[in-house]
């Protein structure tokens, strides 16, 4: 199911930022670290569309949280705690490509402002370097024997240069921060085969099976859940509010069976099972491409802290290797993570979202892959194959959709949704999605790998290491099993005329051999 909504390690120092101290000398030190960020990363190649443009809207919450720790009268520049490794030169050199992509994805990113700020930053940076050169010249002259009047003249000149330089460095810090935040609004690039347009423009890649024909009136999962004493929405609404639910009796066993069966199936493909934290730092949510705060956020934030409840295990799994360099021999890294998920479902209403279809809390098993850039498209196909094998074995009628550009979340380079037929709801409903995020997330999370062989023509200088420079990995994610929607599918598709529900054969060993859910005797 698509989710539209303290840094460790020492490998990516350029991505770690705290509030800038108010002292001007500290500001200079921060700037020297900052100035490298924009020029050290490999440029994108227009001929290699699988390398993404890793940028996304940055929440102001981090800045606000930082400001709260400072003296309210302090007007010094406040920096965010992290920065994506954005290649601004590539954006400028490929502005037409970026502009078309922004338009196709219905993004509100302001490319013209990004380019304007980048040009201003380059101009100001040159002026800073010029003043630094003049300051060094003055400092060298001071080392020689000088007449008192001449020395005093140089002292005054040095003092003026220092003050001017400090002012420009502070302006540059503010400018680079503005540039970074604007550029992080730009979405990932899009696979060339992705259909252009909104949700209605998605293309059907594959249709599997056909709808079951019923010889009796079909019930939806809410009615089945009530008749079989499996679901209780009324009590949950009193205890927790709308869009919460209790599972009861065999529904509890079915949830456990779905998760255990899913884990066992996915682990056959070499995935490492995980359970994850369900509270994470806001910065990790942002780095994965989700917006922790805002009018239509899907994220529950914890008041008085920098933590959020996760909407998908993709977020804590993505954070496992944050700020690290992975040996190429360890790739790919494949995880299947079980967690509870929490979503505000802002703006969700209507009959199409009733019952278990759209809820605030649910269990989910999520697949996550970290791989080399040249292999991410292959692993996207693997994720789809795993999903297909599982849904086919459960006897579901489903279709695979290649989602259109306007329906892609900012991190996704390409996304496939799987929608299954839900006879009680009389429509297809999304039960899974699989996304290739290329290096969008890894450039934010700071996840790189070191190739085992140096690149061609990369001859190390004398005394330098012959190790190949690290590169950003690609990340992929896919829903293996979102329990509530799977319950909708199973209850509605396997209902019988007498009101019972058949348990699909693959799940029976995980339910103690139970084959049928029958009405309870009154």
- Rounded to whole angstroms, the Cα distance separating 245 from 252 reads 12
Tracing tokens 């790998």 back to the chain, one arrives at 449
- Rounded to whole angstroms, the Cα distance separating 24 from 171 reads 12
Cβ atoms 439, 398 nearer than 8 A: no
Q: 477 among the known binding-site residues?
A: yes
Q: 107 among the known binding-site residues?
A: no
3 state SS of 9 = coil
Q: 345 among the known binding-site residues?
A: yes
Q: 433 among the known binding-site residues?
A: yes
Q: 296 among the known binding-site residues?
A: no
The residue among 8, 35, 3, 12 whose CA lies nearest residue 127 is 35
- Rounded to whole angstroms, the Cα distance separating 500 from 280 reads 41
- C-alpha of 379 from chain center: 17
Q: 388 among the known binding-site residues?
A: no
Torsion angle of the four alpha carbons 308, 311, 315, 316, in this order, in degrees rounded to the nearest 10: 70
Cβ within 8 Å of residue 329, ≥6 positions away: 452
Q: 431 among the known binding-site residues?
A: yes
Tracing tokens 């002259």 back to the chain, one arrives at 141
Structure tokens at 370: 């970290």
Tracing tokens 């979405």 back to the chain, one arrives at 187
- Rounded to whole angstroms, the Cα distance separating 72 from 97 reads 42
3 state SS of 346 = coil
Cβ atoms 370, 439 nearer than 8 A: no
Q: 16: which strand partners?
A: 82
- Rounded to whole angstroms, the Cα distance separating 355 from 225 reads 10
Q: 31 among the known binding-site residues?
A: no
Return the sign of the alpha-carbon dihedral for residues 318, 320, 325, 331. negative
Segment holding 327, helix H or strand E: strand 324-327
Structure tokens at 509: 């060993």
8-state DSSP, 246 = E
Q: 298 among the known binding-site residues?
A: no
Q: 432 among the known binding-site residues?
A: yes
Number of H helices, E strands in the chain: 14, 17
Tracing tokens 């040095």 back to the chain, one arrives at 158
Q: 116 among the known binding-site residues?
A: no
Q: 81 among the known binding-site residues?
A: no
Residue positions in the annotated binding site for ATP? 343-345, 359-362, 430-433
Residue positions in the annotated binding site? 312, 343-345, 359-362, 366, 430-433, 477
Residue positions in the annotated binding site for L-serine? 312, 343, 366, 477
């Amino acid at each position: 199911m698509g989710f539209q909504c303290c840094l460790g390690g020492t490998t990516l120092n350029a991505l770690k930022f705290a509030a800038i101290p108010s002292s001007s000398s500290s500001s200079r030190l921060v700037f020297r670290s900052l100035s490298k960020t924009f020029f050290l990363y490999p440029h994108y190649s227009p001929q290699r569309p699988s390398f993404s443009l890793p940028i996304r809207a940055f929440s102001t919450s981090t800045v606000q949280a930082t400001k709260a720790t400072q003296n309210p009268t302090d007007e010094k520049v406040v920096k965010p705690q992290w920065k994506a490794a954005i290649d601004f030169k590539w954006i400028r050199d490929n502005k037409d490509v970026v502009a078309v992509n922004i338009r196709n994805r219905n993004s509100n990113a302001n490319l013209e402002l990004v380019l304007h700020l980048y040009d201003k930053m380059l101009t100001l940076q040159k002026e800073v370097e010029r003043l630094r050169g003049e300051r060094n010249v003055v400092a060298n002259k001071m080392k020689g024997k000088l007449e008192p009047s001449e020395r005093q003249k140089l002292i005054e000149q040095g003092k003026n240069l220092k003050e001017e330089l400090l002012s420009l460095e502070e302006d540059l810090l503010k400018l680079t921060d503005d540039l970074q935040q604007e550029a992080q609004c730009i979405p990932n690039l899009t696979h060339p085969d992705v259909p252009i347009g909104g949700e209605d423009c998605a293309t059907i890649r594959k249709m599997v099976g056909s709808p079951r024909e019923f010889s009796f009136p079909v019930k939806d999962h809410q009615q089945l859940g009530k008749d079989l004493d499996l679901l209780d929405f009324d009590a949950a609404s009193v205890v927790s509010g709308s869009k919460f639910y209790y599972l009861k009796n065999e529904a509890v066993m079915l949830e456990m069976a779905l998760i255990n069966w899913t884990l066992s199936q996915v682990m056959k493909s070499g995935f490492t099972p995980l359970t994850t934290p369900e509270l994470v730092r806001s910065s990790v949510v942002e780095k994965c491409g989700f917006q922790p705060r805002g009018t239509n956020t899907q994220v529950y934030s914890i008041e008085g802290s920098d933590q959020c409840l996760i909407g998908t295990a993709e977020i804590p799994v993505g954070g496992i290797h944050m700020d690290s360099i992975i040996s190429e021999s360890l790739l790919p890294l494949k995880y299947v993570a079980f967690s509870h998920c929490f979503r505000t479902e802002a703006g969700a209403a209507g009959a199409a979202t009733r019952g278990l279809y759209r809820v605030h809390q649910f269990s989910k098993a999520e697949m996550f892959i970290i791989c080399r850039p040249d292999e991410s498209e292959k692993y996207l196909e693997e994720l789809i194959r795993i999903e297909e094998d599982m849904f086919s074995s459960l006897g579901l009628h489903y279709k695979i959709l290649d989602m259109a550009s306007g329906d892609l979340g900012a991190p996704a380079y390409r996304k496939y949704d799987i929608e299954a037929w839900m006879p009680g709801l009389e429509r297809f409903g999304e039960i899974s999605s699989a996304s290739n995020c290329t290096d969008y997330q890894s450039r934010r999370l700071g996840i790189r790998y070191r190739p085992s062989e140096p690149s061609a023509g990369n001859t190390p200088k004398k005394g330098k290491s012959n190790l190949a420079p690290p590169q950003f990995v690609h990340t992929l994610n896919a829903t293996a099993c979102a329990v509530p929607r799977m319950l909708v599918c199973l209850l509605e598709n396997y209902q019988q005329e007498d009101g019972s529900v058949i348990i699909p054969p693959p799940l029976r060993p995980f339910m103690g051999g139970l084959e049928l859910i029958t009405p309870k005797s009154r």
